[in-house]
Amino acid sequence: MTDITQLHRELVNRVLDSDAQAPRELRRAAFDNAGLDEPVRTLIDKVARRSYRVTDEDAAAARAAGLSEDQIFEIMVCGAVGAADRQYESALAALAEATGGR
């Protein structure tokens, strides 16, 4: 079978803890989709829960709030990785429960 355990851990560590342009606290909040202020809150909530609704205006609002394009890039990646990570962990927990941890 495939084994993404290490690659998955490395991806999460990179987006949250590497030296990047958005502050770590902001990246963590985007990853968790929690504790964000507008307009970033709307942008990241859309990335996490209905990405097809993200608009040019959402990105423009984040720019107008003082974020650089690279910072916006980083928090959008964090929002996507965090949401997918929660889905994945939910499913792995369900699998462990269904198989009795075998």
Partner 1 sequence: MRLDVLDRGHPLPTKALFGVIRVMSRQPVVDAVKLAFYRKDFYGAGDLTHEAMRGPSAWSVGDRELMAASVAQANQCPFCIAAHSATSGLWYDDDAKVAATLADLDTAPIEESLRATLRMLGKLSREQSIDADDIRTVLDAGVTPAQIEDALAVCLAFNITARLANAFDFTVVGAAAMTAGAKHLLKRGYR
Residue (7 or 38) nearer to partner 1, CB: 7
Answer for the pair 76, 44: CB distance below 8 angstroms, yes or no: yes
Separation CA 47–CA 84 (nearest Å): 10
Residue (9 or 35) nearer to partner 1, CB: 9
Q: Which residues bind partner 1 (CB under 8 A)?
A: 1-4, 7-8, 11, 14-15, 18, 20, 46-49, 51-52, 54, 56, 59, 69-70, 72-74, 76-77, 79-81, 83-88, 90-92, 94-95, 97-99, 102
Angle at which helix 56-64 crosses helix 69-99, to 10 degrees, equals 120
